[in-house]
A = this chain, B = another copy of it.
Amino acid sequence: MVAKVGIGIVGGGYMGKAHAVAMSAVGAVFNTNLRPSLEMVCATSKASAERYRVAYGFHRATHDWRVLVNDPSVEAVVIASPQETHLEIAEAAMRLGKPVLCEKPLGASIEDGARMVELAETHGVANMVGFNYIRTPASQFARKLIADGEIGDVTWFRGEHTEDFLADPETPANWRTTGQANGTMGDLAPHMVNAALALIGPIDRLIAEVETVHSTRPGGDVTNDDHGQFMCRFENGAMGQLYFSRVAHGRKMGYAYEITGTKGAIRFDQEDQNAIWVYRSHGDEATRGFVKVLTGPAHPDYLPFCQGPGHGTGYQDQIIIEARDFLLAIETGQPVWPTFRDGHDVNRVIAAAMQSSRDKMWKNVSHF
């Protein structure tokens, strides 16, 4: 039986919209048991909140997230506002027993995130973090291939999340250029760290280097990092290399990884998110090579979007898959991967990296 569930979304910007669209579409796409009703949207001003209400089709609007969280029609909360707001909104919602889907990163600091995990676990409330890129059929399939042992034991992982929205030194300073949580390590790195943990497993230790490339810009100084890298060792013994940048000219959606195992390899680049390259070390040498597999009905969560292979899913579809999982979390009352704890585990890796960059030494992630 299909039932309604009232959704409140805090934030109507980039991600607030994405979640609103996803909540509108998810029922028809996945034939979910719960069907979202867009109850209330919240933004910083009355005017903007009202604008979002109309644009996205919410019933009501507010500029005070407390109103949203407390409203009885709002049965579950999506937090799509800046990292500084994540903790208190999540706390309020969870104290009321309302499930929370919080955008990445989990809070504005590792302390925020730790607190959010604690609250979620204390209150036993469904919780999830918005790591959307790992939801593509391609990356879900990569996880499955590895888990099934198709490429053997993983020996090597290379990951990057690179974009170029601040590559031009003449781009003026803005809110993204201050505050650690808005820097590359705070903002972009979590996606790929999440991928690394999901694909390979926990990181044991790492050594990092993080820096600001353009320390001043028209309009002010830049106080957070432009790019960062780390080398690491996973608990399962694999070695790894990661890189994150917002100044990587030419890279628009450089969420990419290469994984080598003892029996094969996988390569993926989100700029062509509908293909995944798989190499297997058996068969005739003369016809061996990386297979360019186009995602299709044979891959996770593809078929609900289209019956034809290679027809392609896109960014918005990742958010729809996320919404499906969040509805499941609401329905069952259970946390769904990636939970706040998963988000916090990402934060711990980032914290270890920031500390390593300052100390110029290897750090054990378990100390964070």
Using a CB–CB cutoff of 8 Å, the interface residues on chain A facing chain B are 2, 14, 17-18, 20-21, 24-25, 27-29, 31, 35, 54-57, 141, 145, 151, 155-156, 158, 163-165, 167-169, 207, 209, 211, 213-214, 227, 229-231, 233, 239, 241, 243, 245, 247-253, 260-265, 267, 270-275, 278-281, 284-294, 296, 298-299, 305-317, 360-362
Contacts and interface: CB of A to CB of B under 8 A. Distances in A.
Contacts of A311: 252-253, 270, 314-315
Nearest to A169: B262
Given A28-B24, A250-B290, A279-B249, A158 B315 contact: no
Question: Copy number of this protein in the oligomer?
Answer: 4
Given A231-B229, A249-B261, A315-B312, A289 B293 contact: yes
Contact of A55 (B28, B57, B165): B28
Contacts of A274: 271-273, 312, 314
29 contacts: A18-B306, A20-B28, A24-B24, A28-B56, A31-B54, A31-B55, A163-B308, A167-B262, A230-B231, A241-B241, A241-B243, A249-B263, A250-B264, A253-B309, A270-B311, A272-B274, A273-B312, A274-B314, A275-B289, A284-B298, A285-B298, A288-B291, A289-B291, A308-B315, A311-B314, A312-B315, A314-B316, A360-B362, A361-B361
A167 to B, nearest CB: 6
Given A158-B243, A168-B281, A285-B298, 16 more contacts: A2-B54, A14-B307, A28-B57, A163-B308, A167-B281, A209-B233, A211-B239, A227-B239, A249-B265, A252-B310, A253-B310, A271-B275, A272-B275, A305-B314, A306-B316, A314-B316
Q: Which of A163, A243, A316 has the most CB of B within 10 A?
A: A316
B247 A155 contact: yes
Contacts of A315: 305-306, 308, 311-313
B241 A296 contact: no
A296 B314 CA distance: 12
A134 to B, nearest CB: 14
Identify whether the interface residues of A are mostly helix, strand, loop, or mixed.
mixed
Contacts of A227: 155-156, 239
A289 B27 contact: no
A205 to B, nearest CB: 9
A18 B29 CA distance: 8
A32 to B, nearest CB: 9
Nearest to A319: B306
Contacts of A292: 289-292
Contacts of A265: 248-251
A217 to B, nearest CB: 12
A135 B14 CA distance: 23
Contacts of A278: 287
A246 to B, nearest CB: 11
The 8 closest A-B pairs by CB, nearest first: A252-B310, A250-B279, A314-B314, A253-B310, A313-B314, A286-B298, A311-B315, A25-B25
A296 B252 contact: yes
A252 B294 contact: yes
Nearest to A313: B314
A231 B252 contact: no
A23 B246 CA distance: 35
Nearest to A167: B281
A270 B272 CA distance: 11
